[in-house]
Amino acid sequence: MQLLKVAAGVVNQTPLDWAGNKANILNALADARAQQVKILCLPELCICGYGCEDAFHSPGLSRTAWEVLQEILPATQGMIVALGLPVFHQNALFNAACLAADGKILGFAAKRFLAGGGIHYEPRWFKPWPSSVRTELVVNGTSYPLGDLYFECGGIKIGFEICEDAWVAQRPGGSLSLEGVDILLNPSASHFAFGKMEIRKRFVLEGSRAFGVTYVYTNLLGNEAGRAIYDGGAIIASGGSLVALGPRFSCAGHSVTSAVVDIDATRMSQARTGSFMPVLSGTGANVVRAEFGFPAIAPEPPSLQEDTWESGERAKEEEFTRAVTLALFDYMRKSRSCGFVVSLSGGADSSAVSCLVALMVERAVKELGGDEVLRKLPYWKGLAAPEIRACLTCVYQGTENSSATGQRAARELAHALGAAFLELEIGGIAQEYVDLVSRSLGRTITWEADDIALQNIQARVRAPGVWLIANLRNALLLTTSDRSEAAVGYATMDGDTCGGVAPIAGVDKHFLRQWLCWLQEKGPEGLHAIPALAAVNAQVPTPELRPLDMQQTAEADLMPYDLLDAVERAVIRDKKTPAEAFQLLRVQFPTYEAGQLAAWIERFFRLWCRNQWKRERYAPSFHLDDENLDPKTWCRFPILSGGFERELAELRAHVARP
């Protein structure tokens, strides 16, 4: 049998960080060499970073990527390595994978199917490469093969499916298998979403089985460019069997997952398949051949060290915790921020954000060790140890409308987390604004006549003080709005929406409250529960902006949160009309009276349309699933619209029918 050691290298890159990206790649190469790997696949566009956006249109970007590739090549001696970069050819830009061996470029396989849905905009920058087309790329007088290629190195045939290529019906792997390809490499930049890893496993396993190959899948890692999170998760399968899985959500700069595979076994699996009919034309137009020596090696057992939380009952809560804490860790260090500041009210949202920051610190220190965390924060002068108190400052800002319960919950949680805690009384500042404007208008501002204005001024006077604290500490202010609030604009612009990033704007309130209860009782595997959340979870959600005797609650202002989230999914994700949403939700929520349900649905539509301008101004949020409302990357909607008036009239007519 012919045994071969292959590997998937996962790296945490940053757009246009040439030095940092190169260092991660070289570290991955060194790690692979130490594991005696002979074929290594690194992620899509790993040299420049996947999220370069319109910087891809700069001629200097592709030139610099080429220069960095030349600097990396010497480190590929004794290995075959796939490296992702943009390639400029005939006045078009292509997303390509360079296959290098023994320090030399063998050629460039170009991506055939571009990701243009959801958060991806590849067709804006790249051209899809046509099937079965090969040409020559000439750089500085040297010619290199470019196109729909596969490679034969030392008798081993290697082909590519670059990320989206594997997600389409007409996968390139089908035609490559007919050419007798032994190994399919998939360099990817596949963003995280809840449950997505299982989909990746399926197409890797099925590709390895159906094509009769060894399939090596690698992915980016971390918060690369601000919004998308990459979970890593290398996968290697051979002949329909999973042989290696890499860690997900690591705080490290790279990881290498390797496996020993049997090339003879996959070749015979093709031979035993009745439907397999190899290409026998013998033209070899799309193959690049090179000499390479593969030493004899011994078998190794599969490396399937999947964490137990991956298959647990609360996998979504675990994924959420790991994804957002990794995203915060990368956002902090890549933005060169000295920790985070949170305006902690004692309610669910701000408590969740505070807990995520504390868990971020604990996760990073546990995985990397304190010294390595400090090494990743070289700009933070005076930081002696990566402690929660240094990385998280919680600020409680109360008025006469704030409850003692919320204040106590905030104080107890901050102390339990080990955060720095400050208390500010801002009621007097808010009243000064009210008095100032009252004198100017020549009338008294009252709750009866000016409810929304009086609520908003309290939220807005919270911003300057907490911004000042963030600036003094060179820290990043976090906003605390969730997706449910974003959908209906239940937030004060320039008040509680102030901040540099919105960690929980990608999840709904219903899930968030479930996550907080889980965190109170159990917590993520390998860390711990946070019992101090009991005081938070016992409260009814309220913004505490009206006088206490008015007994304000968020659900009374809006609608029950579980219903709000169901309406949002039906209307925004599934694009149902008001009448269609009503029919669907009547089945899901049979206890609600028809007129009340219709009124809530109409309220959602009106609030959704009126508040698109707010969503356009929210701080960047992390992408977590296909229910994202971020208008910059996922859910576009006009700021000005007709407001669904015709459709809402149809809803009212439908409900009025006997």
Q: Which DSSP category does 66 fall into?
A: H
Residue showing tokens 């579980």: 562
**Residue 657: predicted pLDDT:** 87
Residue showing tokens 């001696």: 77
Neighbours of 59 (CB within 10 A): 9
Q: Which DSSP category does 570 fall into?
A: I
**Residue 466: predicted pLDDT:** 97
Question: Taking Cα atoms as reference points, which of 232, 154, 152, 224 lies closest to residue 188?
Answer: 232
Judge whether 119 and 631 are in contact, CB under 8 Å. Answer: no
Judge whether 189 and 121 are in contact, CB under 8 Å. Answer: no
According to CATH, where is 1.10.10 located in the chain?
559-658
- What is the distance between the alpha carbons of residues 563 and 60, in angstroms, rounded to a whole number? 51
Fold of 309-555: Rossmann fold (3.40.50)
Residues of the chain with pLDDT > 70, as a percent, come to 99
According to CATH, where is 3.60.110.10 located in the chain?
3-292
pLDDT tens track for 401-424: 999 999 999 999 999 999 999 999
Alpha helix (H) ranges present in 394-491? 404-417, 427-441, 451-472, 483-488
Is pLDDT at 605 greater than 80 in this prediction?
Answer: yes
Average pLDDT in the chain: 95
Which helix (H) or strand (E) covers residue 92, if one does?
strand 92-101
**Residue 280: predicted pLDDT:** 77
Name residues whose C-beta falls within 8 Å of residue 392's C-beta, 6 or more positions apart in sequence.
339, 340, 341, 342, 354, 357, 358, 361, 417, 419, 420
Q: Residue 96 pairs with which residues in a beta bridge?
A: 85, 110
The three-state secondary structure class of 110 is strand
Residue 200's alpha-carbon distances to 18, 27, 30, 233, 613, in angstroms, are 29, 26, 27, 9, 36
Residue showing tokens 């202002």: 557
**Residue 244: predicted pLDDT:** 96
Mean pLDDT within 511-521: 97
pLDDT tens track for 228-279: 999 999 999 999 999 999 999 999 999 999 999 999 999 998 888 767 778 7
Token pair, residue 189, equals 């930049």
Is pLDDT at 282 greater than 70 in this prediction?
Answer: no
Judge whether 521 and 507 are in contact, CB under 8 Å. Answer: no
Residue showing tokens 């109360």: 398
pLDDT tens track for 627-644: 999 999 899 999 999 999
According to CATH, where is 3.40.50.620 located in the chain?
309-555
Residue showing tokens 């060790």: 369
Per DSSP bridges, beta strands 92-101 and 104-110 are antiparallel
Q: Residue 230 pairs with which residues in a beta bridge?
A: 222
Residues of the chain with pLDDT > 90, as a percent, come to 93
CATH class label, 559-658: mainly alpha
Query: What CATH homologous superfamily does 3-292 map to?
Result: Carbon-nitrogen hydrolase (3.60.110.10)
Token pair, residue 597, equals 């349900």
**Residue 57: predicted pLDDT:** 97
Cα 355 vs. chain centroid, distance in angstroms? 19
Mean pLDDT within 45-69: 97
Mean pLDDT within 536-542: 95
- What is the distance between the alpha carbons of residues 640 and 648, in angstroms, rounded to a whole number? 17
Mean pLDDT within 388-398: 97
Mean pLDDT within 564-573: 96
pLDDT tens track for 546-560: 999 999 999 999 999
